[in-house]
Amino acid sequence: MLLSVNVFVSLDGIMQSPGAPGEDPSNGFDRGGWLVPYASEHTNEVVQGWFREADAFLFGRTSYGLLGGYWPKVTAPDDLIATKLNTLPKYVVSTTLPDDEADWSPTTVLRGDFLDDIRRLKAAPGGELQVHGSWQLIQALHQAELVDRYRLLQYPVVVGTGKRLFSTGSTPVALKVAEGDSRVLPDGVVSLTLNPATFGMLAAGSYAVEQGRSKAISR
């Protein structure tokens, strides 16, 4: 399966607590709910497109608890997101989650070397193993170079503080934009699909003046 990270981010890269003030107040974060004023039929259409590709889900414990406390209550049969989340296999990375609390069926708790577990899941047949939210897990997956695709909805707001998708010290990576899946929505939200090209290195260059003209020179 292809492993995709699907997240909402602000212009300054914040992904913490986008959907509600109390969603993730860790580290004193008090600016939650920042995407809600920009929610629209256009953003919903993009997110539904993400979920159509899902064959399984991978969560950290916090996001598993948040989403698992909300989406089972959405029972409308025509709600694509709820149907996918409530019926497809779910994997949650946790060393402390008791089995009786992993009751958003079907759920498997990954308790040991979760990166090896995820490599095995990626080797299995299927479409996408999707990550939604799960900031700490995303950091580990990125550092291990396990992410095959990033899908972002970037909102035209600067949050100013909080957990960033790519934190200081992240492994460098060059990404290619999937042009057919990337566009600016009518409300100013940017939908981006990015595929990692090379992990651990970045192309670089410099500018120089040649024959009176400024020219970019790649190394």
What pLDDT, in 10s, does the model give residues 31-74?
999 999 999 999 999 999 999 999 999 999 999 999 999 999 99
Q: Which CATH superfamily is domain 2-218 in?
A: Dihydrofolate Reductase, subunit A (3.40.430.10)
Q: Check the CA dihedral 133-18-72-104 and report its sign.
A: positive
Distance of CA 93 to the CA centre of its chain: 15
Written as six digits, the tokens of 115 are 């990166």
Q: Would you list the domain boundaries of the chain?
A: 2-218
Residue 199's pLDDT band (cuts 50, 70, 90): confident
Residue whose tokens read 């949050």 = 159
DSSP percent split of the chain into helix, strand, coil, nearest 5: 30, 30, 40
Residue 185's pLDDT band (cuts 50, 70, 90): very high
Q: What residues contact 168, with CB distance under 8 A and at least 6 apart? A: none
- Is the confidence at residue 216, as pLDDT, over 90? yes
Residue 155's pLDDT band (cuts 50, 70, 90): very high
Amino acid letter, 213? R
Alpha helices in the chain (DSSP H): 41-52, 61-68, 80-87, 114-123, 135-143
- As a whole number of Å, the CA-based R_g of the chain is 19
Q: What residues contact 54, with CB distance under 8 A and at least 6 apart? A: 84, 88, 127, 128, 130
Distance of CA 209 to the CA centre of its chain: 41
- What 179-185 contacts at long range (C-beta under 8 Å, 24+ apart), as own/partner pairs, is 181/49, 181/151, 185/40, 185/42, 185/43, 185/46
Cβ of 171: how many Cβ atoms within 10 Å? 14
Q: Are 176 and 195 in contact (CB under 8 A)?
A: yes
Cα separation, 4 vs 131, in Å, equals: 6
